[in-house]
Structure 1
Amino acid sequence: MTWEQLVKLGCQLPEVEEGIWFRTPALKVRGKSFVRLKEDGESVVFLLESVDEQEFLIQALPELYFITDHYRGWPAVLARLSKLRVPECRRRLEQGWRLKAPKTLVKQREAPRGPPPRTSPRGRSKRSP
């Protein structure tokens, strides 16, 4: 994956825009950064809910996730872009977004979009009157 591909995925989340965080490209929701490109251009910083999650991810997927001393003890993890795949990227972006987005925006995203259309026994949808 490239940073540009990650940005494209991240911008699918509500109110996400590109910005700068610690002098590197980042994604923000309402001005709050939730992922950034590292200075090496080959890895990104994802925010996490806890340090325990950081340790779990590094142990479970050491080829993808790692930290430097700077991030030890902080709820964040580094990911190698070259090893990052779309489903995992979406999961981490959504998590970081939820951590930084206002609660009202998160609730809007979680709100049901209405009931699915009813279907007849033959599988055709019926319109409600």
Structure 2
Amino acid sequence: MATWDDVRRIMAALPATTERAPREWRARDKNLAWERPLRKGDLAALGDDAPSGDILGVRVEDVGVAEALVADDPAVYFTTPHFAGYPAVLVRLEVIEPDELHELLRDAWLARAPKRVVKEFLEGQGLAGGEGTGLR
């Protein structure tokens, strides 16, 4: 089970990332992750499948990635009509494992952070060229 402290720790380790507001993280001016309580319309759309607990919204590389995550593990990832056609997923924070959360947030950062910052970070990690990151 992951916590907001896990999210905060992971995001703090990524260059050029700030917690702009409580539980809202950005890479420079690009949204990465945010607390996303379910709204009235979300609850109506999800019905009995509406989860309780803390919900994290995470920007992903594209809509295909969002759809794949939801299809692959609907116990962890879900979406609402509000996010239809938008490259983001909603995450049940109390269900996702910390290692999986780390990978999800790092991938969000890799897709959204400034290219120069990403390149410098990867080089510092010994991953020049994007090996092991899904980026090339």
| Number of residue pairs the alignment of both structures matches | 111
Q: Which residue of 2 aligns with 1:27?
A: 25
> 1:89-118: per-residue Cα shift (whole Å, max 9, x none)?
11111111122211110110121567xxxx
The unaligned stretches of length 5 or more in structure 2 are 39-52, 127-136
Closer/same/farther in 2, CA of residues 113 and 2 from structure 1, 3 Å limit: closer
1:15, distance to aligned residue in structure 2 (A) = 2.4
> 1:26-84: per-residue Cα shift (whole Å, max 9, x none)?
11222322110113561111111121211111111010000011011111100000011
Identify the match of residue 93 of structure 1 among 96, 102, 105: 105
Closer/same/farther in 2, CA of residues 112 and 26 from structure 1, 3 Å limit: closer
Tell me how far apart the structure 2 counterparts of residues 31 and 49 of structure 1 sit (CA, whole Å): 16
Q: By percentage of residues, which structure has more helix?
A: 2
Contact kept in structure 2, 1:46 and 1:78, CA below 8 Å: yes
Closer/same/farther in 2, CA of residues 77 and 12 from structure 1, 3 Å limit: same
Q: By percentage of residues, which structure has more strand?
A: 1
Flag the structure with larger Rg: 1
The unaligned stretches of length 5 or more in structure 1 are 115-129
What TM-score do the two structures reach when normalised by structure 2? 0.73
Q: Which residue of 2 aligns with 1:123?
A: none
Tell me how far apart the structure 1 counterparts of residues 113 and 10 of structure 2 sit (CA, whole Å): 16
Identify the match of residue 66 of structure 1 among 62, 78, 91: 78
Q: Once superposed, which parts of structure 1, at least 4 consecutive aligned residues long, lie more than 4 Å away?
A: none
Tell me how far apart the structure 2 counterparts of residues 79 and 46 of structure 1 sit (CA, whole Å): 8
Partner SS, residue 83 of structure 1: coil
